[in-house]
Copies of this chain bind each other. A is one copy, B any other.
């Protein structure tokens, strides 16, 4: 196993950081790394907002469900799907691009592009000994986040990425059995085997939580998922992304 794979496998989310900001040089390396990721047909359909301002951070932390680490970290990046740049191109090149830009296909492209870039950023940060955490909680209140960051149409915040010097050791969370995620040739057809894998994973997760909480928590993974998904959240999203000019056609 080489060192890069070791860094990848050693990932854990860090939610408590030392009171020490990243330097501009570190931020620059992280953004350059993000930009080096593959991009669909060279479209580069994302932007990154870097937030240092304490007041904006505090407000974003509130909007993300009062997560203190959104405020207290070394740096906060917000990754956005961005097709506004291509609106500007339409104007510069005097072409009609609306149908493409408002398509579900390009919505997908912008999400994929932004996510590939973000994962490069996350790994670049981790390779410097920094910890990271993705902040999906920003999607709780996208209207407010959009106003706060003054995002034009055709730009939507997807998630935050907090980066900083870890203040506390955290555990790695065990992933699904490889065989449940990785299928050879075609999708796994044997439903019983598939369920068996999930049961086996449940046992692993139960003992993981039990150990971590001194017996207080005994969740299974499927139980946790069923609980989470039986309470639909962020159901305003379809309307919101359409209002912003995405996913309409």
Chain A residues packing against B (C-beta within 8 Å): 1-5, 7-9, 11, 13, 28-29, 31-38, 40-44, 46-53, 56, 85-86, 88-90, 92-93, 95-97, 99-101, 103-106, 108-109, 111-112, 115-116, 118-120, 122-124, 127-128, 132-134, 136, 139, 148-152, 155, 158-159, 173, 175-176, 178, 180-187, 189, 191, 194-195, 198, 221-235, 237-238, 241, 247, 249
Contacts of A103 in B (CB 8 A): 232, 234-235, 237-238
List chain B residues, Cβ under 8 A from A37. 8, 11, 119
Q: From DSSP, what is the main secondary structure of chain A's interface residues? A: helix
In whole angstroms, how far apart are the Cα atoms of A97 and B232 in the complex? Answer: 8
Contact partners of A152 in chain B: CB under 8 A: 187
In the assembled complex, the Cα of A139 lies from the Cα of B88 at a distance in Å of 26
A89 to B220, CA, bound (A): 11
Once bound together, how far apart are the Cα atoms of A105 and B35, in whole Å?
25
Residues of B within 8 A of A85 (CB): 180, 198
Q: Say whether A108 contacts B237, CB under 8 Å.
A: yes
A200 to chain B minimum Cβ distance, whole angstroms, is: 13
Asked, given contacts A33-B5, A186-B49, whether A112 binds B115 with beta carbons under 8 Å apart, the answer is yes
